[in-house]
Structure formats: structure tokens, C-alpha cells
Amino acid sequence: MVSQFIYASMVTYGFCLIFNVRGKIAISSSVVGGLGWLVYIILTKLGFSIGVGFFWAGVAVTFGSEMIARILKTPVTSALIPTFTPLVPGGGAYYTMLYLFNGEYTRAANKGAETFIVSMAII
């Protein structure tokens, strides 16, 4: 679980660099992004559904980004966009399309429904 926190933080920091977010904001956003992923992992380990886990992870990330914005006096979008990147279901969309192209329609429908639920949970 510690390694997943580190990886999620690194991903968030990478997106901070892409979006030209530097300094304290980038470091704080990285920590919040990692904590958001930990919220998701902990809730799914406790037996909650994927949708519930992503919903509460989204709540945690949004709250953390608001705190960063208020403390560091910066626009919230500079912290919010990078912190959500570990939660974006890009892999689910990829596998949905892969299953469709391979003719595995049942698996595509299952993965597509899961991706839709995750997308709606983090909005």
C-alpha cells in the first residue's frame, strides 16, 4: 500500500510538471493525490464497491485541493487537476475498446459499465 501511495504521488507530480505547477503547490498536490488513491484502496479493501471507493477518493482529493488553494493562496484548479489524475479511469476505457475490437462484447460491456460508474463517481 505504501508503494501505491508513492506511485500515485509520482504520477500526480508528473502531471504537475506537465501543467507547469511548481514548488509547494506541486509537492502538496502530490501528497493529496497519493492520499486520494489510498482512500480508494482502503475502502475497496474494506469491501466497498469500486464506485463508492472512487467517490470518497474524489471527495478527499477535492477537499485536499481546496485546502491547498486556501493555504497557498492559489487558484484551486492548479491543485485540483493534477490531484485527480490517479483517479481517472483511462485503463478502463482502453480495455473497453480493446474488448470491443476483439469481439469480446460481454467483457466490453462489463468493463464499460465499470468505467462509466468510476467516471460518474469522480465527477
- Helix (H) / strand (E) element for 105: namely helix 105-122
Average of pLDDT values for 98-107? Answer: 96
User: What residues contact 22, with CB distance under 8 A and at least 6 apart?
Assistant: 16
In whole angstroms, what is the distance from residue 12 CA to residue 31 CA?
8
Identify whether the C-beta of residue 43 lies closer than 8 Å to the C-beta of residue 52.
Answer: yes
pLDDT category, 1, cuts 50, 70, 90? confident
Mean model confidence pLDDT for the chain:
93
Indicate the pTM of the whole model.
Answer: 0.87
pLDDT (tens digit per residue) in 46-95: 999 999 999 999 999 999 999 999 999 999 998 899 999 989 988 999 99
**Is residue 123 over pLDDT 90?**
no
| Buried/exposed code over 25-50 (b: 16+ C-beta within 10 A; e: otherwise) | bbbbbbbbbbbbbbbbbebeeeeeeb
